[in-house]
Amino acid sequence: MKALILSGGKGTRLRPLTYTGAKQLVPVANKPILWYGIESLVAAGITDIGIIVSPETGPEIEAKTGTGILFGAHITYIHQASPDGLAHAVKIAQPFLGDSPFVMYLGDNLIQDPLAEFVADFQSRPLAASIMLKQVANPTAFGVAKIAADGSVVELVEKPKDPPSNLALVGVYLFSPAIHQAIAQIKPSARGELEITDAIQQLITTQQKVAARELSGWWLDTGKKDDLLEANRIILDMYITSPDVQGTVDERCKISGRVVVGKGSQLTNCTVRGPVVIGENCLIDNCFIGSYTSIADSVSMSNIEIDHSVVLKGAKISGVQRRIVDSLIGERAQLMVSDHRPKALRFMVGDDSIIELVS
């Protein structure tokens, strides 16, 4: 079995951050979102992986993710000239996929459930496709599945006004080679894209077996800032299980809970309350760092309070005497302040920005 990860697209919901970088490389707990998907696939025994990339962000993804050796996989990069739909991505990947069954994984999605069980179930049954579903409170915002009593999929409806269920399609799919013929039989949607939901519906219409499995754990689509912060919170809770301080922490620091400090980082006169992860070669002085904060490598911070936020590589934050909360700070961004106002601040700051707060 092979895998196809979709990492193209423009990431419009994470702008301005994604004007200068790929949304799939935005880190959660200091690891690119894309890498969690790769690791999940490898853990399920799938090591032959194709990654769909765009002209704008493909080189960055290739440079950071590499050949796959880091994950025990072999990665083939497939270039999609324009974002013409998920089914179009499968279509252009057909030379890579051949006649192999495959998992299609959206690169900005994260799921808690291990893939191995879903893969084993798919391989043990004569299925054209298997989709993953999750109960949601607002099904009108998603693709929704209508399920028969035997667990087969009867119908898929995209963002229905009157949903047939509250079961939303998750961004992970399993396909047999039959999906290629189904894609060849559909036409672009009203927005000009080849929709994967239309291709799956074509399988159903031609009486091919499409099964569904409901996730028991969480599912996160990290395409927006608040979703990404929630993913960061959940991942920190899952993976930061004990303190691990490899950097230098002076005697005035107060470290409590599950805190990770990378090599070469220096903390002076700081209070840190985990779960928190701090990368390598950071300089942090006289700061309060609250729970569910991730700070990437080479960040410089002084005289600030920050909580429930993600700070990307090389950012500099100093003198902001109001607590920074629920924020996403881009690479090499600079935040400064020259007065004191007792209010919290919320930011979404793109790469290379400079922001100075004045009275």
Per-residue pLDDT tens for 9-51? Answer: 554 444 445 444 577 888 889 999 999 999 999 999 999 999 9
Per-residue pLDDT tens for 286-296? Answer: 999 999 999 99
Give the DSSP per-residue string, 42-84: HHTT--EEEEEE-TTTHHHHHHHHTTSGGGT-EEEEEE-SS--
Q: Are 274 and 294 in contact (CB under 8 A)?
A: no
Structure-token pair, residue 283:
């300089």
Between CA 141 and CA 77 the distance in angstroms is 31
Q: Cβ of 63: how many Cβ atoms within 10 Å?
A: 9
Per-residue pLDDT tens for 228-270? Answer: 899 899 999 988 999 999 999 999 999 999 999 999 999 999 9
* Burial track 249-268 (b if 16+ CB lie within 10 A, e otherwise): beeebebeebbbbbeebebb
Q: Cβ of 221: how many Cβ atoms within 10 Å?
A: 17
Residue 348 binned pLDDT confidence (cut-offs 50, 70, 90):
low
Bridge-based pairing of strands 74-79 and 316-318 is unpaired
Is residue 145 over pLDDT 80?
Answer: yes
Which domains are present in the chain? Answer: 2-236 (3.90.550.10), 240-357 (2.160.10.10)
Percent of the chain past pLDDT 70, that is, above it, reads 90
